[in-house]
């Protein structure tokens, strides 16, 4: 093994081209490993990180100690773990890719009254009133609550509005047979920024109850790709649902809506103050 290490060192230091190639390779893989480990830790997968590090050490030892071992096999370890990440965390990976393309959907006005407590509470009440009225009348709706991070292609698929939040406006937009009623409404901060937007459909058919249709698949699908929350009203049953992180909670009552909206608005407020 010592001879192989010496031979590798001599090859490394004896040729400038090889030295540069190895240095670049080491830096590139270091960045790759850093982001792989960070991704796994962010998704509470410490055990996979330990397996990855142990595998790297074992394969590294095999490459150095076994004469017939091809050093290229060392690349199998990160390749296998990359494949595993894409298979185990498709929603999280998709969300990262979409967030890289995200753009600001609305700039909150920098005034003393743009985002005060009274305006937030009024916005919450208006949304709850509209959602519950539509539920009683079996009017279908999707409302997406975004932290100004929705991809531009979703916004461009609808109609820009940029209006204060009011129950009357929300209900009129989703009223059957109006031009924008089939799409999603996008709310950013205390503003309705767009309506009639088309959303990506969820591909996880096994996790969605059979009685839920395209509207619910769209409401769930957008939360799989972007860190947003969607509120869905069923046109057939009037049931109100809340989707977050690719998961849906049905039969949302006033308390559930208020809790979801309060959490959203005050998280937005903290971002606004930064």
147 half-sphere exposure, CB direction, 13 A CA radius: 16
Residue 145 domain flag: yes
Residue 170's pLDDT band (boundaries 50, 70, 90)? very high
Same domain, 147 and 250: yes
42 and 163 in a common domain: no
* Domain presence at residue 180: yes
Higher pLDDT, 126 or 29: 126
Whether 189 contacts 268, CB under 8 Å: yes
pLDDT at 198 over 80: yes
Looking at residue 31, what is its pLDDT? 83
Does position 8 have pLDDT exceeding 80, yes or no? no
- Do 236 and 124 share a domain, yes or no? yes
Main-chain dihedrals φ then ψ at residue 240, nearest 5 degrees: -95, 130
Last residue in a domain, options 88, 109, 135? 88
- Distance (Å, rounded) from C-alpha 252 to C-alpha 135? 11
Same domain, 133 and 61: no
The per-residue pLDDT for range 14-24, each reduced to its tens digit, is 555 556 666 77
pTM of the model: 0.63
In percent, the amount of the chain with pLDDT more than 90 equals: 36
Question: How many structural domains comprise the chain?
Answer: 2
- Compute φ and ψ for 249, nearest 5 degrees: -115, 120
Least confident of 4-18, 69-83, 158-172, 227-241: 4-18
Residue 63 has pLDDT above 80, yes or no: no
Whether the predicted pLDDT of 9 surpasses 60: no
pLDDT bucket at 213, cuts 50 / 70 / 90: confident
Supply the CATH number for residue 179's domain.
Answer: 3.40.1700.10
List the domain range (segments joined by +) for residue 35: 2-88
Q: Which of 3, 78, 13, 6 is nearest to 48 (CA)?
A: 78
For residues 195 and 180, the answer to whether their CB atoms sit within 8 Å is: yes
The predicted structure's pLDDT at residue 47: 78
Q: Is the same domain home to 129 and 187? A: yes
Q: Which residue has the higher pLDDT, 4 or 263?
A: 263
């Amino acid at each position: 093994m010592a001879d192989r290490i010496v031979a590798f060192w001599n090859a490394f230091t004896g040729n400038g081209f090889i030295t540069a190639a190895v240095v670049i390779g080491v830096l590139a893989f270091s960045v790759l490993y850093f982001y792989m480990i960070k991704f796994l830790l962010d998704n509470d997968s410490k055990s996979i990180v330990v397996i990855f590090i142990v595998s790297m050490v074992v394969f590294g030892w095999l490459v150095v100690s076994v004469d017939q071992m091809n050093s290229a096999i060392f690349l199998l370890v990160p390749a296998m773990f990359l494949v595993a990440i894409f298979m185990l965390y498709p929603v999280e990976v998709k969300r990262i890719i979409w967030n890289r393309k995200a753009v600001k959907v609305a700039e909150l006005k920098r005034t003393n009254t743009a985002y005060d407590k009274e305006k937030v509470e009024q916005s919450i009440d208006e949304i709850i009133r509209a959602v519950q009225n539509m539920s009683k009348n079996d009017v279908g709706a999707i409302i997406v609550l975004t932290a100004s991070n929705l991809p531009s292609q979703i916004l461009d698929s609808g109609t820009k509005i940029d209006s204060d939040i009011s129950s009357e406006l929300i209900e009129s937009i989703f009223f059957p047979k109006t031009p924008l009623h089939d799409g999603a409404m996008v709310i950013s901060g205390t503003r309705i920024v767009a309506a009639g937007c088309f959303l990506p459909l969820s591909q996880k058919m096994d996790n969605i109850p059979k009685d839920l249709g395209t509207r619910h698949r769209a409401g769930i699908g957008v939360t799989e790709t972007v860190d947003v929350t969607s509120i869905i009203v069923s046109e057939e049953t009037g049931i109100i649902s809340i989707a977050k992180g690719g998961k849906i909670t049905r039969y949302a009552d006033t308390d559930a809506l208020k809790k979801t909206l309060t959490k959203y608005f005050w998280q937005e407020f903290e971002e606004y103050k930064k």
